[in-house]
Amino acid sequence: MATPLRYTLMLRVYGEEKIFGPGIAELLERVEETHSLRKATMDMGMAYSKAWRIVKTAENALGFPLLTSTVGGRGGGSANLTERGKRFLLAYRRFEQAVHDYADELFEELFGEDAQ
């Protein structure tokens, strides 16, 4: 019996270089949940310096900040998505979902029985 066919699809947004994709989207979602870039990176098993570099690269290419942060102290520091960062992340996730939905339909249409 043949193994069912499947596909993978990963969306990235480019300017002159890669700006945004599933990794930074997940990172920003975790920052939104934890209010901490450090905690988000630990959850993902990512180096803090790499996460900071990815965020700064995206912010520079997009021309607006994705995160706001406060430095630690008595209560500790925090990080949050900017309003524009939230909108961009939502737009990316909606675009990603729409493309996946269309791809699922097209895959079924083109491969039909062969996909099962």
Three-state SS at 51: helix
User: What was the pLDDT predicted at 2?
Assistant: 76
- What is the C-alpha to C-alpha distance for residues 47 and 36, in angstroms, rounded to an integer? 14
Closest to 13 (Cα-Cα) out of 62, 82, 55: 62
- What is the C-alpha to C-alpha distance for residues 60 and 32, in angstroms, rounded to an integer? 20
CATH number at 50 reads: 1.10.10.10
- Please indicate whether residue 74 or residue 53 has the higher confidence score (pLDDT): 53
Burial of 6 (0-12, 13-18, 19+ CB in 10 A): exposed
The reply to whether 6 falls in a domain is no
Q: What ranges make up the beta strands (E) of the chain?
A: 13-14, 18-20, 67-70, 78-81
User: What was the pLDDT predicted at 114?
Assistant: 67
Number of compact structural domains in the chain:
1
pTM: 0.87
- If you ran DSSP here, which 8-state letter would residue 45 be given? T
For residue 72, pLDDT over 90 is answered with no
Q: Give the Å distances, CA to CA, from 110 to 1, 4, 18, 105, 106.
A: 21, 14, 30, 9, 6
The reply to whether 8 falls in a domain is no
Structural domain harbouring 24: 13-68+77-111
For residue 84, pLDDT over 90 is answered with yes
